[in-house]
Chains A and B, each alone.
Chain A
Amino acid sequence: MAYQVTMPQMGYDMTEGTINRWLVEEGTRVERGDTIASIATDKADIDIEAYASGVLRKILVGPGGRVPVGAPIAVIAEEDEEIDEAAGALPPESVSAQPPSAVPVEQLEAPTLPAPELAGAPPATPLPDWAHRLGKDVEAPEEPRPIPAGRVKASPLARRRARELGIELVQVRGTGPEGRVTADDVEAVARSGGLAVAATAPPGAGAPVDPTDPSEPVRPSRMREAIARRMSEANSSIPHFYLSTKVDVAALVQLRAELNALQDPGLPRFSVTDFIVRAMAMTLQRHPQLNAAHFAGGVRQFFSSNIALAVAVPDGLVAPTLRSCESLSFAELTRRAHDLASRAKSNRLRPEEMAGAHTAISNLGMFGINQFAAIITPGQGSVLAVGEVSSVPVVRDGQVVPGQVMEMTLAIDHRVTDGAQGAEALGYLRWCLEHPAALII
C-alpha cells in the first residue's frame, strides 16, 4: 500500500522543515526504520527515517525545499503499485496521516493571522488601536487620540449609583481624594434634585482616561466647563447653611389661575416662579441683610433687588439676572423674566445679563422635585431652591381640607448673615407667597 512520507514533526516547536538532501534515490528499496533523508529544522539538522517498507517511488520535495510539518515529501509504495506521483495522492484508508492542521485541536492552538495579512496586503478590517503601537510599517495616527475633556473622576460605585439614579456625573461635586466623586456625592445630588449642583472635575484638565470604562464620554460645552469651575469654587469656598420651609400656596395658585384666566393680551402668562421672583424682590428690600454678598474685602450690601433666575438649557444651566426687580411692576417683572428665559434657551443673552445678581432662584418644581438645595454662585449671598406645588391635606380653621404646599430651601453664605436673620427673611418670603395679593399691588 502506498505510504505518503510527510515532513515529520521533530520537536514540539517545529512547524516547518527544509530538505537538506535525500539519502536514497527514487526507485530504491527502503525498510521501515531506514534513514532516508536529512532535514533541517530551525534548531538542527536531523536524519529522518522511513515509517514504511517499500520502494521510494517518488520524491516530491527536493533539496532546499521548505515545507510545513505534515506536507507530503515523498511516496513509498510497492514497485508495481499505481500512485499519483504529482500529488502524492493516497487511497482513502491512508488519509489518517493528516497534516497537523487537520487535527481538531483548534481550542488548544493560538489563532494565527491569515497569510495575506502577514504578506502586507491591506487587512480586511481596520487594525485595532493597539496595532498602531506595534511595528514600524503601521502609520501612526495623525493626531494623538484626544483625551475626552470633562472626564469625571468617580468611583465605580458612584458610577453605578449615578446610572441607577439617572444623574450625570458631571453634575456631581466630588468630595473624595483629588475630587473623586463618591457614591455619597451622587446620592447627595439625588437628594437635592440634581440641577444647580455642579461638578468639580477640572474641566478639560485631562484626567487620565480609562479606555475600558463603559460610560459615555461627556463632551462639555464651554458653559458646562464654566459651571463646573464656578460651582466647584463655590462649594469649596462658601460656607453654606440651609433653611427650609413649606409654603401654603393655595391662594397663590388660585390667584394665578384668575390672572391667567383674564386672557388679557397686555399681561404675560404668570407662572409660580414669577410670583416667587416678585416675593424675593420684596424680601430683599424688606430684609437687606439677605441682599448682600461676600467679596474679597468683606461683605457688601446692595440696594437693588438683582435676582438671578436659573434656567435649564440643553447645554446645562444659565442664570441671567433680573435687575432692580423692586422697581418693576409684577407684570413688567414677569415680562422681563420671560424674555430672559426665552433668550437664554436660544443662547441670545448678552454678557452683562449674566452678572450683577446677589441672589438666585432655582425652581425644579416642573421636574417633580419636592425639595432640594442649591449651591451659591460666587458673588452672590444666597440661593433659593424651590420644589413643586403638591396637593396635600392641610388643616385650616380646625378642618382638614385639600391644600397645596410648596417647599423651599434657602442656602445662605454664612459669612454674609446667620441663621436667625436668614430665617426672618425666609419667613417674610413665605408670608408674601401666602398672601399673594401683596405681590401684585
Chain B
Amino acid sequence: MPTNPKTNRTGSRPTSRRAVARQLPHGLTAQQCREMYHKMVQIRHFEDHAAEAYAQAKVGGFLHLYIGEEAVAVGAIAAAREDDHILGHYRDHGYALARGCDVQACMAELFGRETGICHGRGGSMHLADAKRHFWGGHAIVGSHIPIGAGMAYAMQYLEEPLVVLDFFGDGATGNGIFHEGLNMAALWNLPVVFICENNLYGMGATLAEESPVSDMMIKAEGYTMPAVQCDGMDVLSVYGAVQQAAEHCRSGKGPFFVEALTYRFRGHSMADPELYRDKEEVRRWRELDPIPRFGDFLVQHRISSQQELAQVNEEAEAEMLEAVRFADASPWPDPSTAARGVYANPIDPEAAQEALTLAADPAPAAS
C-alpha cells in the first residue's frame, strides 16, 4: 500500500505511539490503522459527492452508494496482500478506493469521461484497475463468484501465493451461481475468500423474504467451508476475520467464508424511496457508523488526535471536490472511438480481404 507521507511527519511522540501499536489487535500498526481510517473517510466523501453529482444529473444510470459499509471493504482489503485479487459487486466504489485506485479516475468514470478508470465504458457499477489486481465491479448478481474461484484456480495452478477476495451481498446467496461457485471452490480446495456483506436487504427484499436462514455463513457449511461472522460496522473485526481467512487460503487449506454484518445507510440506489424499512432502523444503524467508531478507537489508543481526524476529513473533502472538478472538466470519449476495444484482437474480414489482395500483388520495389 502507498505510504502516507503524513505518518512519518510527527516526530514528537514516536516512542509512545510505537508502544501503543504493540497492543493493537491483529498485529496492526498505528500507521495501518490511520490508513484504514483515511480510506473509510475517502469512501464516505467520494460517495457523498457522487450522490450530489447524480442529483445534478452529471452522473447517470444507476448509482449505488457504499455509505455505511466502508469498514467491510477497507478492513478486508487491508488484511490482504496488496497484490491479492479482488472482485466485487456493483456497489463497488469502496473496493476501488480501499485498494488505492485513482480517485479522480474513479469519479471521472462516474461522469462517463475519457479520463475515467475504464474510459467511461463501465460506469459506476464497473470500476476496475487490473494493475492493482482489482478485477471489477460486477453488476449481474453473483456472476463473479465462480470467476473468483477460477482466478483462485489459476493461482493454485501457476503456484502463485495469492488469494482472491470475492465480495457479494446476502442477496447473491439465493442465486444458483453462488452455489456453483462455492461448490467448485470447495471441491478443488481453492484459495478464495468469499466475503458476504450481509446488509439485511437484497435490493428491497428483506433477509426474511429472501433467505430461510439469517446467517449467511450457514450456507458455507454444505460445502464444508470454514466460515466466520464478523462485525461489518467495525473495521478491526473485518480485518481480523479476513486476515484469518486469507492465511487459511494462502496455506493451501482451501476456501474460507466471511460474513460481515453490515448496513447501508442509503437506499439501494438513488431512486430508492426506502419503503421497505423504517427510519428508526436506519437511525439505529447510523449510531454504529464505522467511521466515528473507528475514529474514537484511534483517539482512545492515541493513534490519532481529534484534530488529525478532522484534518483527514477536510483533506478528503478537498480531494473529492478536486475529483469532481477534474471529472467535470474532463473530455467526453470521442465518439469515433466507440467501437475500440470490443476485442483484444479485432479481426476485420474487410481489412483481411484488403491484406490478401495486397499480398497477392507483386511486392512494390523497395525505394
- Please, which residues of chain A bring their CB within 8 A of the CB of B56? 6, 8-9, 70, 97-98, 100
Q: A101-109, A157-165, A209-217, A412-420: which one contacts chain B?
A: A101-109
Q: A44-52, A244-252, A259-267, A307-315: which one contacts chain B?
A: A44-52
A361 to B269, CA, bound (A): 86
Contact B52 A51 (CB under 8 A): yes
Contact among B58, B60, B273, B332 with A12 in the assembled complex (CB-CB below 8 Å): B60
- Please, which residues of chain B bring their CB within 8 A of the CB of A14? 271
Contact A9 B332 (CB under 8 A): no
A41 at the interface (CB under 8 A from B): yes
User: Given A12-B62, A43-B271, are A70 and B52 also a contact pair (CB < 8 Å)?
Assistant: no
Contact among B48, B273, B335 with A44 in the assembled complex (CB-CB below 8 Å): B273
A298 at the interface (CB under 8 A from B): no
Contact B55 A9 (CB under 8 A): yes
Contact A41 B55 (CB under 8 A): no
Residue of B whose beta carbon sits closest to that of A101: B57
A341 at the interface (CB under 8 A from B): no
Contact residues of B between 275 and 319, Cβ < 8 Å to A = 275
Residue of A whose beta carbon sits closest to that of B55: A8
A368 at the interface (CB under 8 A from B): no
Residue of B whose beta carbon sits closest to that of A45: B273
Contact A69 B57 (CB under 8 A): yes
Number of residues on chain B facing chain A (CB within 8 A): 21
Query: Smallest distance from the beta carbon of B280 to chain A beta carbons, Å?
Result: 15
A48 to B55, CA, bound (A): 9
A10 to B55, CA, bound (A): 6
Residue of A whose beta carbon sits closest to that of B56: A97
A346 at the interface (CB under 8 A from B): no
Query: Smallest distance from the beta carbon of B271 to chain A beta carbons, Å?
Result: 3
B contact patch SS: loop
A103 to B112, CA, bound (A): 12
Contact among A46, A69, A104 with B273 in the assembled complex (CB-CB below 8 Å): A46
Number of residues on chain A facing chain B (CB within 8 A): 29
B270 at the interface (CB under 8 A from A): yes
Residues 46-67 of B, flagged 1 when their CB comes within 8 A of A and 0 if not, give 0010011011111011100000
Contact B57 A9 (CB under 8 A): yes
Contact A51 B57 (CB under 8 A): no
Contact A70 B332 (CB under 8 A): no
User: Given A41-B271, A45-B273, A107-B335, are A12 and B61 also a contact pair (CB < 8 Å)?
Assistant: yes
User: Given A96-B328, A107-B335, are A10 and B57 also a contact pair (CB < 8 Å)?
Assistant: no
A111 at the interface (CB under 8 A from B): no
- Please, which residues of chain A bring their CB within 8 A of the CB of B48? 32-33
- Please, which residues of chain A bring their CB within 8 A of the CB of B273? 43-46
Query: Smallest distance from the beta carbon of B326 to chain A beta carbons, Å?
Result: 12
Query: Smallest distance from the beta carbon of A405 to chain B beta carbons, Å?
Result: 46
A33 to B317, CA, bound (A): 14
Residue of A whose beta carbon sits closest to that of B58: A103
A14 to B57, CA, bound (A): 10
A99 at the interface (CB under 8 A from B): yes
Query: What are 13 A-B pairs with beta-carbon distances under 8 A?
Result: A9-B270, A11-B269, A11-B271, A12-B61, A12-B62, A41-B271, A44-B273, A45-B273, A46-B272, A51-B51, A69-B57, A70-B57, A96-B328
| Given A9-B270, A51-B55, A96-B328, 7 more pairs with CB closer than 8 A | A8-B54, A11-B269, A11-B271, A44-B271, A44-B273, A51-B52, A100-B56
Partner-B contacts on A (CB < 8 A): 6, 8-14, 32-33, 41, 43-46, 48-49, 51, 69-70, 96-100, 103-105, 107
Closest 9 pairs (CB-CB, A-B): A11-B271, A8-B55, A100-B57, A44-B273, A9-B57, A51-B52, A46-B273, A12-B61, A10-B270
